[in-house]
Amino acid sequence: MTAPERSEIESLVETGRVHRRVYTDPELFALEMERIFGRVWVLVGHDSQVREPGDWIRANIGLRDVVMIRGEDGEIRVFHNRCPHRGMTVCVPAKGGGRRLVCPYHGWAFDTAGKLLGVPQPGGYDGGFDTDDARYSMAAVARVDSYRGFVFASLAAEGPTLAEYLGEISDTLDNFCDRAPEGEVEMVGAPLRQTFEGNWKLHMENSVDAVHPGFVHRSSVESAQGFIAEAGSAETADQAIQMFNANGFTLNEWDSIGIHGYDGGHVFMDGFYRGGVIDPDRKDPVFQEYKARMAAAYGEERMNRIFARETFNNLIYPNLSFNTRFQQLRVIRPVSVDRTDIHSYVFRLKGAPEEMFHTAVKFVSTANSPASPVLADDLAVFEQLQTGLGSEGVEWIDLSRRSGREEPFGNRGIRDRATSELPMRTMLGAWRRYMAAA
Amino acid sequence: MSGTVSSAGGIEALLQLRRVEEFLFHEARLIDERRFEDWRDLFTEDGIYWVPAEPGQDNPVDRLSIFYENRELMDVRIRQLRHNAFWAQIPPVRTRHVIGNVVLQEGGGDTELRTRSSFVMLEYRDDRRRVFGGEARHLLRPNGDGFRIARKRVDIVDCDGTHGFMSVPF
């Protein structure tokens, strides 16, 4: 395959509009795997998934199959999950552990740092087998680094450091962790796994689209409203019903909150949950106990600053979406140009009352289950979007709402009202830059 | 066959097993015929419908679930199933259950019955066919001539697999 010319790629993303090929062209998808997922920092896991030396999990960087392992020296490493001998997948289950990795095919064995320990029949090689030859160790991914326990890897040997790549969006990861009295979170259990027949970018854009809930989520909003009208109160309704109801913001209300973008393609939107068990300042005894523990850990002033950083979805380009208030993390996994998987994880705030974790579990189940009354409508819409974009009758997608009305934010960011299409323009601006760089 | 009521209790136990089977067939038929309100009303006021997301999951509180619904949430789900802008159900799904391997278990006490059964659910929507299957565990309370469901747990065989969206109960 010959990559499209730089000018051709750049012509696909204009100010305020994007060509449908960006979502439908298999060649551009292959190029995204090379120039975006093959170069940037991508999350591979959380250090709480590999607590003990020898613990490992399988993960993906784009379409690449990798394994993240904690070495006996405590260091976390990421390898291509491929035996240097004949290409066999070395780690087959989703997770495992032990002092050695042994290839199922011919028994090549590696230590937890990926170094080859031995092969069968070494006498079959002239001069014996050199187990120290670096070609015969597990191939390490070019760069690995972590931020507050989140482990990222980059397939590119050169490029910005992880800290440089994250830039100012790192403070939302800080907030994710700072909400724990002990300043750390831990990933718990297996993720929920969903799939849809659509391009991965549709999900990322939708996570920060404040105009769609009034249309896409009308059925879950009005069903919750109907229930609440009969029950007489929203405050006593189940947490899930309060969540459905919260999407019923009017467009003026959505305009009262902000949306923010950074030039790396990262985006976050302000929180909009109000009242009851989803209120940022809950009145119930569990939350009061949690606040007391937070105040003891940080002092009132710092605690108030942590809580004031009230966001909803936070996106780290290209494929992470997380919610700091309910300890949710979604990894968007591109499978093909028109197929995407979503893995949704929940975290426990270390040092918080266990009931805070139960609220997070309920949030993540309600918002991420394949049976979610909210997510089902999103996924159904993504599939019909992909169908619509497949039609050659109309070539361009319009993303110009509130274009040019952004204000500066932070050192290198912009902000506007949440009904702006700023987040789509921000992500596609990053897409254009990465894709055009040969 | 030790441990099953049918071997221990003779003809009365067989009749009871038959009554339970009829009830489970009826429950499945209500879903397949989209009589969702009638299905919900089979549940006790404190009834729970739960579909775990991990094999052998022991609770819905500290692990993620596919469905975990009380009567309130069933009510909202059914309102949504009746809504004319429920995009995930336009067109609506068609389902058909087959229920088998029904076993009455000990341990329900005098006032409750525990059952295990297997099921297969065929689903069709918008030119796509899916098959779900697994085991249902019911906690039933006798009610007049029939039963009400205090708890229904459904373990689909691919509970921890990757799924497209789904909207009707199993």
Lowest mean per-residue pLDDT among A314-318, A322-326, A336-340, B103-107:
B103-107
The residue with tokens 């020296």 is: A73
Q: Which two tokens stand for residue A105?
A: 């095919």
Spatial separation of the C-alpha atoms in residues A363 and A241, rounded to whole Å: 11
User: Which pLDDT belongs to residue A212?
Assistant: 96
Spatial separation of the C-alpha atoms in residues A395 and A423, rounded to whole Å: 21
Spatial separation of the C-alpha atoms in residues A437 and A39, rounded to whole Å: 11
Interface membership of B85 toward A (CB under 8 Å): yes
Supply the DSSP symbol for A141: P
pLDDT beyond 90 at B2: no
Residues A357, B73: C-beta atoms closer than 8 Å: no
Average pLDDT taken over every residue of chain A: 96
Q: Is residue A4 part of a domain?
A: no
Structure confidence by residue, pLDDT tens digits, A85-108: 999 999 999 999 999 999 999 999
Interface membership of A236 toward B (CB under 8 Å): no
- Is A84 within 8 Å of A108 (Cβ atoms)? yes
Q: Which of A219, A362, A382 to mutate to test the interface with B (most CBs of B within 10 A)?
A: A219
Q: What residue of A is the nearest CA neighbor of B51?
A: A371
Q: Are residues A98 and A233 located together in one domain of the fold? A: no
Q: How would residue A73 be classed by pLDDT, with cut points 50, 70 and 90?
A: very high
Domain B5-156 has CATH 3.40.50.2300: no
Query: What values do phi and psi take at A220, rounded to 5?
Result: -80, -35
pLDDT beyond 80 at A53: yes
Structure confidence by residue, pLDDT tens digits, B77-98: 999 999 999 999 999 999 999 9
Q: Are residues A404 and A429 located together in one domain of the fold? A: yes
Structure confidence by residue, pLDDT tens digits, A364-406: 999 999 999 999 999 999 999 999 999 999 999 999 999 999 9
Q: Is residue A25 part of a domain?
A: no
Q: Is residue A116 part of a domain?
A: yes
- Once rounded to an integer, what is the mean pLDDT over residues A232-237? 89
Q: Are residues A193 and A282 located together in one domain of the fold? A: yes
Please say which residue of A155, A190, A207 terminates a domain.
A155
| pTM for the whole structure | 0.95
Q: Is residue A11 part of a domain?
A: no
User: Which pLDDT belongs to residue A347?
Assistant: 98
Question: 3-state class of A77 per DSSP?
Answer: strand
Q: Are residues A234 and A122 located together in one domain of the fold? A: no
Q: Are residues A364 and A427 located together in one domain of the fold? A: yes
User: Measured between beta carbons, which residues in chain B are less than 8 angstroms from residue A193?
Assistant: 160-163
Q: Which two tokens stand for residue A182?
A: 């002990």
Q: Are residues A88 and A210 located together in one domain of the fold? A: no
pLDDT beyond 70 at B60: yes
Q: Is residue A51 part of a domain?
A: yes
Question: Does residue A160 have a cis peptide bond before it, meaning omega lies within 30 degrees of 0?
Answer: no
User: Measured between beta carbons, which residues in chain A are less than 8 angstroms from residue B83?
Assistant: 218-219, 222-223
Structure confidence by residue, pLDDT tens digits, A189-218: 999 999 999 999 999 999 999 999 999 999
pLDDT beyond 90 at A423: yes
Interface predicted TM-score of the whole assembly (ipTM), two decimals: 0.95
Q: Give the contacts of A380 (CB within 8 A, at least 6 positions apart).
A: B87, B88, B90, B165
- Is A58 within 8 Å of A44 (Cβ atoms)? no
User: Which pLDDT belongs to residue B41?
Assistant: 97
Q: Give the contacts of A88 (CB within 8 A, at least 6 positions apart).
A: A82, A103, A104, A105, A106
Q: Which residues pair with A344 in a beta bridge?
A: A192, A330
Angle between helices A218-231 and A239-246 (to 10 degrees): 130
Share of chain A above pLDDT 70, in %: 100
Q: How would residue A277 be classed by pLDDT, with cut points 50, 70 and 90?
A: confident
- Once rounded to an integer, what is the mean pLDDT over residues A43-64? 98
User: Which pLDDT belongs to residue B7?
Assistant: 53
Q: Are residues A394 and A259 located together in one domain of the fold? A: yes
Q: Which residues pair with A100 in a beta bridge?
A: A111
- Once rounded to an integer, what is the mean pLDDT over residues B13-29? 95
A427: CATH:
3.90.380.10
- Provide the number of structural domains found in chain A: 2
- Is B113 within 8 Å of B142 (Cβ atoms)? yes
Q: Are residues A122 and A240 located together in one domain of the fold? A: no
Q: Are strands A407-409 and B113-125 parallel, antiparallel or unpaired?
A: unpaired
Domain that holds residue A263: 170-436
- Once rounded to an integer, what is the mean pLDDT over residues B26-53? 98
- What residues of chain A, 313 to 342, have a C-beta less than 8 Å from chain B? 341
- Is A108 within 8 Å of A133 (Cβ atoms)? no
Q: Are residues A97 and A52 located together in one domain of the fold? A: yes
pLDDT beyond 50 at A329: yes
Q: Are residues A239 and A373 located together in one domain of the fold? A: yes
Q: Are residues A106 and A251 located together in one domain of the fold? A: no
